[in-house]
Amino acid sequence: MTKTDPDRHTSGNFKLSFEFFPPKNADMDVQLWETVEELARWNPDFVSVTYGAGGTTKAPTLVAVDRMISVAGLSTASHLTCVDASKQEVHDVVEELRGIGVKHFVALRGDPATGPGTAYKPHPDGYENAAALVRGLREIDDFQISVSAYPEKHPESESTDVDIDMLKRKADNGATRALTQFFFDNTMFERYMERVTKAGITIPIVPGIMPIQNLTQLKRFAGRCGTSIPAFLDERFAGLDDNPVERAKVAADVAAEQILDLQRHGISEFHLYTMNRAPLVNAVLENVGYRPLRQSAA
């Protein structure tokens, strides 16, 4: 794997980051590293690697993060959750990750090990929520700390006001930026940003963009995340179930149009959920005119 040049190549002053998840088997491992190699040519500002509830993917996360830093030469953030873990257990993981060069964490409460939608109970000796985790990380070292934000509010939040109050607590405790849950309605995002600004939150709010690999699967996932699926997506993908080539073109167009519209409204940083697949992400970035550091080897 070729290390990227430290000089970033961007188009129209927009920064770029990617999310990956640790592989669960040998085939997925091959796919991940092929994807990382392919997407590294875009020279992202950073990449992030997810981390399971209660540390259920701790080992593969550590391996993936280590390789992304030491082999791919990518600035890599590790997700970190506090669910079902004591403060000491969280600190131990932080030290392991710091030992392999991690200087950036995505600090999350995390879903209960019993699954999304089940009741959350803080560990009696742990951090009670993501805001407390941010404060704890800030006390350990001067890390970059990204946190989550929810344009349509977290599914468990009582209200949007409560949700934004939590975001403000994370920002006040030392968060560097917020990465949003994916969304498809930019008007809704603009309304959310108005409320964020009114609340006095000044950290960058980075839109999470989800290129649509499979609309049916996305709808199931979005339902668990509290993300709405606008009617126009059904219209754009209508009749394409048996036409994967055209479906991929539409998916790339949809994500590119969303990014370009957000750029027109002053957004200059985007976080792409890759699903460990490169082709659609490549197509989206090509459609918006982003310039890669080098051409694909394919």
Active site residue 19: yes
Tokens describing residue 17: 């980051």
Catalytic residue among 19, 38, 152, 257: 19
What values do phi and psi take at 106, rounded to 5?
Answer: -100, 100
Question: Residues 107, 101: contact at Cβ < 8 Å?
Answer: no
Closest alpha carbon to 206 in 13, 57, 15: 15
Tokens describing residue 286: 């090509």
CA dist 107 and 284 (Å) reads 28
Tell me how many degrees the CA angle 255-181-204 measures, rounded to the nearest 5: 90
- C-alpha distances in angstroms, 104 versus 137, 173, 226, 230? 10, 15, 27, 34
For the annotated catalytic residues, the residue numbers are: 19
